[in-house]
Structure 1
């Protein structure tokens, strides 16, 4: 998996956070479409964290291989 692919995944996850944010109804946050929106936002945030960990590991790998 390349760094470019990771950045594309982060961009898609960010777009999905915005889209799912529009589904939220703060009066009934844990019911219906709001619950689906919350699950989507949580999954997208997890994806971003995983991709950031991947990018950090790639940076470490590059530094170790240079020595």
Structure 2
């Protein structure tokens, strides 16, 4: 399960990199830039949630 979580985090970072290339700083909320910002926000959420899951699993192992 740990490797699956790390794989999801890695894929989220890759998607952030790909989506950041589509962002047009002059028109942030129009066309592909808006979609790219949504993807970046979703990937950041995935990274935060997977980090919380890793920490909670570590804490659970210490209490057993």
Q: With structure 1 as the length reference, what TM-score do the two structures score?
A: 0.94
Give the match for residue 57 of structure 1: 56
State the number of aligned residues: 64
State the alpha-carbon separation in 2 of the partners of residues 26 and 36 from structure 1. Answer: 13
Tell me the CA shift for residue 16 of structure 1: 0.2
Give the match for residue 19 of structure 1: 18
Give the match for residue 8 of structure 1: 7
State the alpha-carbon separation in 1 of the partners of residues 60 and 6 from structure 2. Answer: 18
Aligned-residue CA RMSD (Å): 0.4
State the alpha-carbon separation in 2 of the partners of residues 62 and 3 from structure 1. Answer: 13
Tell me the CA shift for residue 27 of structure 1: 0.3
DSSP 3-state at the match of 1:28: coil
Give the match for residue 31 of structure 1: 30
Q: With structure 2 as the length reference, what TM-score do the two structures score?
A: 0.98
